[in-house]
Amino acid sequence: MAHARVAATLIAFLLAGGAIAQTEPEPVAPSEPNADPAPTPRNGHIVVSTRGDGSIVLIDPTTFRVWHREAAPVGLHEIAASADGRLVVGSAYGSGPRHQTPDQRLLVVTLPDLDPRTDDAPSVGPLINLGAANSRPNDLAFLPGGSRVICTSEVARTLLIVDVDAALGATPDPDTLEVGAEAITSTIPFQARAGHMLAITPDAARAFVPSVADRTVTTVDLATGQIVATTIAGEGAEGVAASPDASTVWVSCHRAEVLAVLDASTGQRTHTVPCPGYPFRVRFTPDATRVVVSCPGDNRVRIFDAASRTLVHTIDVGEGTLPTSIAVSPDGALAAVVCASAEAVAIIDLAEGEVLTQVRVGPIPDGLTWAPHPPEMTPDSDSGATPSGFPTAEAPQP
């Protein structure tokens, strides 16, 4: 079966070290740190984790060149950036060439000044040890206020709310660079099996967790910790994105080769959109008008009109490139897409529907985020306020 072959390819590459039996990808010139960097990019940083060499790579989205590479103490599977562009948090899902040893940590990275002409480097650490009961952390997102993240624990079948600022203020163990699970402020069970990706509404009122094993999407009220709905999405429900206007949720169901569209207020499926090529990850543009989908089964990226649910562009990323993770620029003009087997990130012009370039980043690129340029700060623009009303729970011991 075609689906089985694509799944085997992804597993072989993403979990077993990067070598896969595909057509050799088109050559891409290596991207070196800028010798003569452009002015401060208006679009922030593109940040990618490369698990093959344990690095965090920063790409200048003005020149499309790598301008910094920083060693990380763990390989990061998924990463997310705060809305103010100051922090990135990544999940350590498991160590070893096949992720065979479960991990239970998050890594906090403080980003440098956004001008690549400076010599500033990211500040890496601390590691937040979530405890053995919360192993296999996977997807994560920052909550409004920029000081907390919500992440999935695939093993615990639980959403964890973690206070990043508290972790930054703690004293890490000098040998492990770790702080303890006291940074966990809330735990919310979601019950579904193999629920590792998530999306939240912009106001963090609700979270949506697809289950690959159960074909479902679980909708969780984050204020009460209660499950609002469990809806059948389709075989291989995995990638998920909530629209910036909080109206819909799109779920990529790779085995069914469809996109399930849910009503964000009810959690119920309203439409099913055909999407060939093993649709894997899905992201909205900031204006909520376009939906970007990576399709590693046929090495395409597809762009849909969110309102009409019609296909706008089909973009050939290159033979054997295996497009996976997606990040959209803050202005909605560009998308960055991990090309896993090409060891590169493709930069796509969303209006024209074409690949502008590929940036070589290193072995086994995986997590990807687009950290925005910090806004002009005012005394009240970053109060550190965080959502209230989350159910509290005792933090487990590491």
The confidence score (pLDDT) of residue 146 equals: 84
Instruction: Please give the sequence-ordered ranges of beta strands (E in DSSP) within 216-353, or none if there are none.
Output: 216-221, 226-232, 237-242, 248-253, 258-263, 269-274, 281-284, 290-295, 300-305, 311-316, 323-328, 334-339, 344-349
- Which CA distances in Å does 391 have to 143, 189, 220? 15, 11, 12
Stretch 232-259: mean pLDDT, rounded? Answer: 97
158 SS3 class = strand
Of the listed ranges 156-170, 344-358, 366-380, the least confidently predicted one is 366-380
Q: Which of 43-47, 141-145, 220-224 has the lowest mean pLDDT?
A: 43-47
Confidence band for 277, pLDDT divided at 50, 70 and 90: very high
Between 6-15, 62-71, 259-268, 357-366, the lowest mean confidence (pLDDT) is in 6-15
Q: Per-residue pLDDT averaged across 90-114, rounded?
A: 82
What would the DSSP string read from start to end of 340-377?
GGGTEEEEEETTTTEEEEEEE--SSEEEEEEEPPPPPP
Considering the domain 2-18+45-371 in this protein, what is its CATH number? Answer: 2.130.10.10
> Of 100-104, 168-172, 316-320, 325-329, which gets the smallest average pLDDT?
100-104
Q: How far apart are CA 100 and CA 15, in angstroms?
A: 9
- Integer CA distances (angstroms), 9 to 2, 21, 73, 94, 389, in order: 11, 8, 27, 19, 43
| pLDDT digits 0-9 by tens, 280-292 | 999 999 999 999 9
Average pLDDT over residues 9-34: 43
| Mean pLDDT across 115-132 | 82
Give the pair of three-digit tokens for residue 74: 């763990």
Determine the pLDDT at residue 2. 56
> How would you list the strands of the sheet with 237-242, edge to edge?
237-242, 248-253, 258-263, 269-274
Residue 204 CB neighbours (<10 A): 21
Dmax over CA atoms of the chain, in Å, equals 58
Provide the pLDDT for residue 103.
94
Q: Cα separations (Å) of 301 from 11, 253, 336, 337? A: 20, 15, 11, 9
Minimum mean pLDDT range among 18-27, 368-377, 380-389: 380-389
Is the distance from CB of 333 to CB of 292 less than 8 angstroms?
A: no
Nearest to 167 by CA among 181, 157, 188: 181
101-110 and 87-95 strand pairing? antiparallel
* Cβ(201)–Cβ(267) below 8 Å: no
Comparing 24 with 223, the larger pLDDT belongs to: 223
| pLDDT given at position 16 | 42
Model confidence at 384: pLDDT above 70: no
Kindly state the average pLDDT of the residues 154-169. 96
Size (the chain), residues: 398
* Phi, psi angle pair for 69, to nearest 5°: -135, 125
| Structure confidence at residue 43 as a pLDDT band (50, 70, 90) | confident
388 vs 367: which has the higher pLDDT: 367
Average pLDDT, the chain: 85
Average of per-residue pLDDT across 136-153: 95
SS3 label, residue 125:
strand
267's tokens: 């959690």
pLDDT of 239 above 60: yes
User: SS3 for 58?
Assistant: strand
Cα 36 to the center of its chain, rounded Å: 30
